[in-house]
Structure 1
Amino acid sequence: MKLYYMPGACSLAAHIVANEAGLSPELVKVDGKTKQTDNNDDFLAINPHGYVPALVTQDGDVLTEAQLVVQYLADQKPESGLMPAGGNMARYRVQQWLAFISSELHKSFGVFFKPGATDEAKAAASAHLTKRFTHVDAQLAGKTYLTGDTFTAADAYLWTILGWTRFTGFDLSPFTNIQKFMGTVAARPAVQKSLKAEGLA
């Protein structure tokens, strides 16, 4: 397998899941501006949309979209617990969180990285994120991770997206459960391994 990534982008979630599952995909770094890989290949030939993650499976299929890629990787090692078994309500709960993170958090951060975004647009996104963070914080009360005591693909995705608050100036101090979650996940060996591999630690 090949995992195309940009350091610190949402592909970090896929990288973390791969390490949690004990997988070793070939890592291919992509330049976000030129869309060239570190091997000087054209990334747009892999994913015409130009964004990461993109995963080339052992069969040569290309998968994109963070919430799908993390599920695929987790399913390669069912015993890891990163994705509960199909047909189980626990799996739907994890998928529900993946969808929420993708649509309500990930997408909302886009404006902060968009050149020329107005202050009004950023303020609206901040207000939206504050509401969503309040929800996440409440759901984490009394739990180690989103669905309980087991680390799942959704936790890797959430931790990655919440990490972007460092670059946007968003203050997480009012959200004590989120802060605890961030520290707990950051301490996981697979997370540290992923950060070091991407030059982020």
Structure 2
Amino acid sequence: MTFIVHGAAGSGSVPVEAVLTLAGAPFRVVETPTWEGEAERERVAATNPMRQIPALITPGGETLTESAAILIWLAERFPELGLAPPPGDPRRGQFLRWMTFVSASIYALYWVRDEPDRLVGADAAAQAQILSRTVDRISHCWSVMERQIEPGRFLLGDRMTVLDLYVAVISRWRPLRPRFHEVASRMGAVVRRVDALPELQDFWARRFPFEGDYADPA
């Protein structure tokens, strides 16, 4: 049976789609770039009343929302991939900590950044201030994470987890990779490794081409 992903190219659905691709699981994407306007948000409202992506409908008909929750669930649904430390693993606490941190402290700010008028109305100066301050806050959060982890080949050691996929995608968003490398150089080396995974090259090219503003500086 098929998974259904409500998402969009370059969005928070990309790491979800990446896991399904690695698992070889059948899935289809309902392309819903909610940042483009009210019509797109209404399209996803029946699946996620928050009118946000990603949302995942499982083959059993269950609806899952919240990117970190979906990724953790998928890692447990496909344990053969080894994409999450299991309960009892020494890495489990830090895995849950940083999955939640990225979701709550960084990802959540993009709801504000996508349409700052949601909070400050049509005041152009206030909107510009929000965009500037959220860039600084995102950079600060990445630097906090950088100082408190000890990456190996991947963020939690020598095995990739969904945390690596999550960070690899979100670090592409503004303030973009140059600023990310500036504040989180060790994590930067890891996400470049994730970018280069042979098994995901065709997937990245389709769903989040690393070019233009999103290119990673050499």
Considering the TM-score relative to the shorter chain, is it more than 0.5? Answer: yes
Q: Find the counterpart in structure 2 of residue 28 from structure 1.
A: 30
| Cα deviation 1:142-176 (Å, max 9, x = unaligned) | 52222111110111111111110366x87234232
Give the deviation of 1:190 after TM superposition: 4.1
- How many residue pairs get aligned? The number is 196
Instruction: Provide Cα deviations, 1:94-147, integer angstroms capped at 9, x if missing partner.
Output: 111110100111123443322446232233323322322222333455522221
- The amino acid across from 1:7 in the alignment is A
SS of match in other structure, 1:129: helix
Helix, strand or coil for the counterpart of 2:18?
A: helix
Query: Is 1:160 equivalent to 2:162 in the alignment?
Result: no
Q: RMSD over aligned Cα, in angstroms?
A: 2.5
Kept in 1, the 8 Å contact 2:151–2:187? The answer is: no
- In structure 2, the residue matched to 1:47 is 48
CA contact (8 A) 2:4 2:28 kept: yes
Q: 1 or 2 for the larger relative contact order (CA 8 Å, sep ≥6)?
A: 1
Higher deviation after alignment, 128-137 or 92-101: 128-137
More helix by share: 2
Aligned runs of 1:41-190 on 2, under 5 Å? 42-116=43-117, 118-139=127-148, 141-165=150-174, 171-174=179-182, 175-190=184-199
* Cα 1:25/1:141, change in 2 over 3 Å: same
Q: 1:95·1:154 contact (CA, 8 Å) conserved in 2?
A: no
Which residue in 2 is equivalent to 1:9? 11
Give the counterpart letter for 2:17 in structure 1.
H
- Check conservation: 1:11, 1:53, Cα contact below 8 A: yes
Unpaired segments ≥5 residues, structure 2: 118-125, 211-218
CA shift in 2, pair 1:170/1:82, >3 Å: same
Letter in 2 for 1:35: E
Tell me the TM-score normalised to structure 1 length: 0.84
1:55-91 CA distances to partner (integer Å, 9 max, x unpaired)? Answer: 1111111111000111121112112110122343423
Contact persistence 2:48–2:65 (CA under 8 A): yes
Gaps of 5+ in 1: none
| TM-score normalised over the length of structure 2 | 0.78
Q: Taking structure 1 as reference, are residues 104 and 170 closer, same or farther at Cα in structure 2, changes over 3 Å only?
A: farther
Offset of residue 18 of structure 1 = 1.6
Partner of 2:123: none
**Counterpart Cα distance in 2 of 1:153 and 1:142:** 14
Question: How far 1:14 sits from its partner (Å)?
Answer: 0.7
Identity %: 23
Distance in 2 of aligned mates of 1:70 and 1:190: 18
